[in-house]
Structure 1
Amino acid sequence: MITPVQKRVENVDFDDIPINRFHIRMTALTFGAHFNDGFAVGIIGMAIVMIARDGAMELDAWLTGALGAAALLGLFFGALIFGAVADKIGRQRVFALSFLVITLATFAQFWVQEPWQLLILRLIMGLGIGGDYAVGHTMLAEVLPRKRRGEILGSFSVIWTIGYVLATILGIWFLQSDVPEAWRWMLIAPGFIAAIVLVARLGIPESPRWLKRNGHDARARQILDKHFGTHVTLGDEENAEGPTEGMLALFKPKYIRRTLFNCTFFACIVAPYFAIYTFLPTLLKQMGLSDLAESGGGYAVEVYLNMFLLAGALAGIYFTAKFSRRGFLITGFFVLTISLIALALVPTGATLVSVAFFAVFTFTLSAVSNLVGIFPAESFPTPVRSSGIGLATAISRLGSVVSTFLLPVMLIEFGVVVTMLSLAGILAFGLVVSWLWAPETKNKTLTECATPILPSQGRVEGTRHKTRI
């Protein structure tokens, strides 16, 4: 016999349950990964400065660019491979395996003697980071309720930025210290974070959405009962159209617009981000905005800009909650394009004006970067969600590899103005694509967010379909 109390708690949709301890645990594990990623990316730029200063390795502009871009190239392949694997075999195993790869490769950097050894290890580390990007966003998106999904997924950027800023501060301290071969300790510092995340991820259950979608109803029900309650349901998951479709499905008519949009906007945001901030000390010196010297010196502008990175990331959480996803993205691209063009054209002697434009650019870039953790996770249905996130992440990092690899060379060959205007062109392209194709996913269930859009429907995103996640 069902009591009145039981009736009141029946049939609560998975997208509408309140945040509980399992949500917090999953968020912490995914945030820890992004903190580690930001820390690892932030530390390499500072380590390269110290390696060159101490003469530990012979690095020309091409090797410098390659070392800066190596982890990003590895991330490209890791996101593609592990994203597709996670859709085939499940999320949980990739969730742990990715951090095993990251941990081992990070610690191995301590014993490198030649640039090629460091290059290979950075590539391997990037493979693990790419896998974590694909499956981490997927796992968290598939368990979070819709009312908090945007803020939490968008907060990845904040955690990444905190890791990056702390790495920069630690790098400055090492640069000014007398620690022998301090660059080795700088490179392995993220490994201690990675090891903690790896251990904490052991025992995490599989995504109930993936289990249900692939016919493992009993296991999905067990996980729901244990972590969310016996009254929680997965809605119309039983009407799913079959098993995982595979990465090639992303290029079918029903997904192609979402695929192109996510790959393009993601790449247009992170390519300038990684290019500029991987080599921020070098770029500031070229622009006359820092007195960075071989012996270590003034870092006031660099610290100042890193504070704007952090402030922008925090503000991005508020903007994500306050404004529409689509409007926030388009406005962000517009401000970024204008501010970078202005920064490129400011006369060399106008230091304060340049720093002001750089601050606006930094703040906005960090804020709008919150959306790279939201749109891909919300744009694809369960059969291809991990593949979709993996592909978007991979393409974005491919763009980052090219921009990061070429930035030191372009600064030498063409100068600051041409380099900055080229990056502004990337942002302008992202603005156009977002204006044409960006969907609105705020306050929608994952089913509603990921409803496939056919090319004949243009930008009309409100049409309902029978397809379920």
Structure 2
Amino acid sequence: MEGSGVPARVRLDDVGMTPFLKRVTLFSSGGPFLEGYVLGIIGVALTKMTPDLGIDDHWSGMIGVAALVGLFIGASVGGWVTDLIGRRKMFVIDVVTIVVLSVLCMFIASPVQLFILRFLIGITIGADYPIATSMITEFTPRRYRSISMGVIAAMWYVGANAAYLAGFFLLDVPGGWRWMLGSSVIPCLVILVGRWSIPESPRWLLAKGRVEEAEAVVLQVYGEGITMDDEVTATKTRFSKIFHGTYLRRVLFVGIIWLCQAIPMFAIYTYGPRIIGAFGLGEGRASLIGELIIGTLFMLGTIPAMFLAESLGRRPLILGCFAVMAVALAVLGLVPNAAMATVVICFGIYALFSGGPGNLEWLYPNELFPTDIRASAMGVAMAISRIGTVVSIYVLPSFMNEHGTGPTMLAGAAITLFGFVVSVFWAPETKGRSLAETGSPEFTGR
């Protein structure tokens, strides 16, 4: 029995880290990994499938955005369904669906078929975000939540890098693009095996009045002597609860900071080709190595943020990071033709400090809402962020072509600064608090 050595009379929110909790964190991070992988691999695969399928510019754009639109829908609906029927059912069904859809992608014969399958994959991955983050939050003790959510943030970049590696090795293989599209089956199966034995969230069971089942899960996972938190009572799930009073302000706060981190990130990515080109990594397989370097920088930024959120606190972390990120973008905007050293330094600073908001946009929605609407709130916040992603993909290139690099970077700095201002007024401090306290409508975080 895992966790059988935990001392008697320990609250669920105060247990120590166990192998089981590490497994929950690792395999719950599968959703972000798969999004990074799916979005990364399509860019590589399109270069090879275009002549085979006769893909024109219209369908190239449609295929590129299909998964993102699906993510928006999946996140919006998936959270609500998860709050209604439970975490574990969706936790498993979701991955099985992605396996089936990924296999079908290998046999497409037209752009329309690929668009439909990518859209459905997007819905499924989008639904997984609120499912998985709720699982992590409801099993993980308070002092490890920022680390667990930081792992989720990092796994997006790990997935993207894995896609670039797969593309690197399959790029020149005959019909390799089909294997690229189907390659997501491999991580899906690993994730499915890892998730299969994870039980239902005891907090969700308690919220549904299933007390005996909740206590059985706690006994199975942690052993004897664990007291259930009193923050969860049998409550009817009402999706509309998110859009009233304190919870409306909280979901707006999380959605805004997510947008303010996501949109400028796409702006800074426009410097990617310039940077990797300067190091001779601008074409073919070499460009994939450059993308790996960029993704690794952003991933590294999530690591110190995992620990600073606990030692420094959530509020100082998000304020400090937004401020530094805004300055880095402003420098790139005011000196658009800066020396390569300046560009690399500013890019590196932005990428590393983006880990603060990048981690907290996962952590905040899971701490600021009670169990009965936690997944729904996470889904809404994530859906808002994906609106920003779609807008960025379509608006930023044309904005840059019309106004130039400098104004584009300054616009990114302004958006980041807006995130800073919103955080000054609305960012709460949840460090060291129980979910009972942070999810309460009376909690102010001050």
Q: TM-score, normalised by structure 2?
A: 0.89
2:212 counterpart of 1:218: yes
Residue of structure 2 in register with 1:188 after alignment = 182
CA contact (8 A) 1:154 1:372 kept: no
Query: Shift of the alpha carbon at 1:184?
Result: 2.4
Aligned counterparts, 1:214-363, within 5 A? 214-237=208-231, 240=233, 242-273=234-265, 277=269, 284=273, 289=278, 297=286, 301-348=290-337, 350-363=339-352
Aligned counterparts, 1:63-102, within 5 A? 63-102=59-98
Pair 1:92–1:221, CA change in 2 (3 A): same
Distance 1:236 1:156 in 2: 27
For this pair of structures, how many residues does the alignment match? Answer: 441
AA matched with 1:12: V
Unaligned runs of 5+ in 2: 1-5
CA contact (8 A) 2:35 2:159 kept: yes
Query: Shift of the alpha carbon at 1:155?
Result: 1.7
Pair 1:144–1:167, CA change in 2 (3 A): same
Moved over 6 A (4+): none
Distance 1:66 1:406 in 2: 15
2:51 counterpart of 1:58: no
Residue of structure 2 in register with 1:5 after alignment = none
AA matched with 1:234: M
Distance 1:276 1:117 in 2: 33
Pair 1:276–1:133, CA change in 2 (3 A): farther
Residue of structure 2 in register with 1:4 after alignment = none
Pair 1:84–1:298, CA change in 2 (3 A): closer
Residue of structure 2 in register with 1:32 after alignment = 30
Local SS of the residue matching 1:204:
coil
1:105-164 C-alpha deviation (Å, 9 max, x unpaired): 222222233333222222111111111100100011001111111111122122222222
CA contact (8 A) 2:367 2:430 kept: yes
The alignment yields a C-alpha RMSD, in angstroms, of 2.7
Distance 2:282 2:276 in 1: 14
Unaligned runs of 5+ in 1: 1-7, 455-459, 463-469
Pair 1:199–1:307, CA change in 2 (3 A): closer
Distance 1:292 1:58 in 2: 26
1:262-300 C-alpha deviation (Å, 9 max, x unpaired): 1111222123335765xx69x625997576666555666
Query: Shift of the alpha carbon at 1:354?
Result: 1.7
Question: Which of 98, 101, 112 is equivalent to 1:105?
Answer: 101
Residue of structure 1 in register with 2:112 after alignment = 116
2:381 counterpart of 1:384: no
CA contact (8 A) 2:323 2:420 kept: yes
Pair 1:266–1:297, CA change in 2 (3 A): closer
Distance 1:59 1:362 in 2: 33
AA matched with 2:430: T
Question: Which of 131, 135, 156 is equivalent to 1:135?
Answer: 131
Q: TM-score, normalised by structure 1?
A: 0.85
Residue of structure 2 in register with 1:156 after alignment = 152
Distance 1:207 1:42 in 2: 32
Local SS of the residue matching 1:245:
coil
1:218-266 C-alpha deviation (Å, 9 max, x unpaired): 111111122122321213247x3x4233221011113122111111112
Pair 1:427–1:230, CA change in 2 (3 A): same
Distance 1:376 1:259 in 2: 7
Query: In terms of mean alpha carbon deviation, does 26-35 or 419-428 score higher?
Result: 419-428
Query: Shift of the alpha carbon at 1:387?
Result: 0.8
CA contact (8 A) 1:12 1:233 kept: yes
Query: In terms of mean alpha carbon deviation, does 140-149 or 412-421 score higher?
Result: 412-421
The sequence identity of aligned pairs, in percent, is 34
Pair 1:346–1:44, CA change in 2 (3 A): farther
CA contact (8 A) 1:150 1:374 kept: yes
AA matched with 2:64: G
Aligned counterparts, 1:458-469, within 5 A? 460-462=444-446
AA matched with 1:461: G
2:432 counterpart of 1:443: yes
AA matched with 2:229: G
Query: In terms of mean alpha carbon deviation, does 81-90 or 159-168 score higher?
Result: 159-168
Query: Shift of the alpha carbon at 1:445?
Result: 0.8
Distance 1:367 1:289 in 2: 28
Pair 1:358–1:134, CA change in 2 (3 A): same
CA contact (8 A) 2:87 2:201 kept: yes
Distance 1:181 1:436 in 2: 53
Residue of structure 2 in register with 1:15 after alignment = 13
Distance 1:417 1:56 in 2: 38
Pair 1:322–1:69, CA change in 2 (3 A): farther
Distance 1:349 1:24 in 2: 44
2:382 counterpart of 1:393: yes
1:43-65 C-alpha deviation (Å, 9 max, x unpaired): 2233334445x5754342x5444
Pair 1:201–1:251, CA change in 2 (3 A): same
